Amino acid sequence: MCLSNKLKVVVSTTLKQELLRSPFKDIPGWFPTSTMHDSVFILGHSRIGEAKLGSGEAYKNHLGESKKVPDAVLADFAHTEGAIFISEDKRARKRFAEFAGLESSLDFATFRIDILDI
C-alpha cells in the first residue's frame, strides 16, 4: 500500500521478463503497476542497469536446492521492498513464508479476494 491508501502494484525487472515469456506476453493490464529494478544482481541472470547491488540475503534463503534463480530473485525483491510475494508455486510461497513471515505470501486467487476484494 502506498501513502494514499491505494494499492500499489510493483513489478520487478525479473517479473516483467517472466511475464513476457508467459501466455500473458506482458504485464496484464488489470490494475496500474510501476516497474522497479530487481533488488539483487545475479551474474548470469541480471542485466546491467536493471538490478541493484543488494545483500541477497533473501535470495540466498529462497534459492535452496531447486536453484530456481528467477523465483529467488522475485522473493528477494518482495522481501527487500516489504511487498507481498504472489506466486502460484505453493513450494515457493512456503519457502518465502518461512523466512519472511507467514502472511507475506499469497496465491493470485487469495490476492484477488483478500487484497483487491474482487
Summarize pLDDT for 47-101 with one digit per residue, the tens: 999 999 988 888 998 887 778 899 999 999 999 988 888 888 898 888 888 888 7
* Phi, psi of 59, deg, nearest 5: -55, -50
Instruction: Give pTM, 2 decimals.
Output: 0.84
Domain coordinates in residue numbering, the chain: 37-115
C-alpha 75/C-alpha 59 separation (Å) is 7
Which residue do the cell numbers 525487472 mark? 13
Question: What are the DSSP E strand ranges found in the chain?
Answer: 9-12, 33-36, 85-86, 105-106
C-alpha 24/C-alpha 42 separation (Å) is 25
C-alpha 67/C-alpha 98 separation (Å) is 17
Split at pLDDT 50, 70, 90, the class of 2 is very low
In angstroms, the first-to-last Cα distance of the chain is: 17
**How many other C-beta atoms lie within 10 A of the C-beta of residue 99?**
14
**Which residues on adjacent β-strands are paired with residue 36?**
12
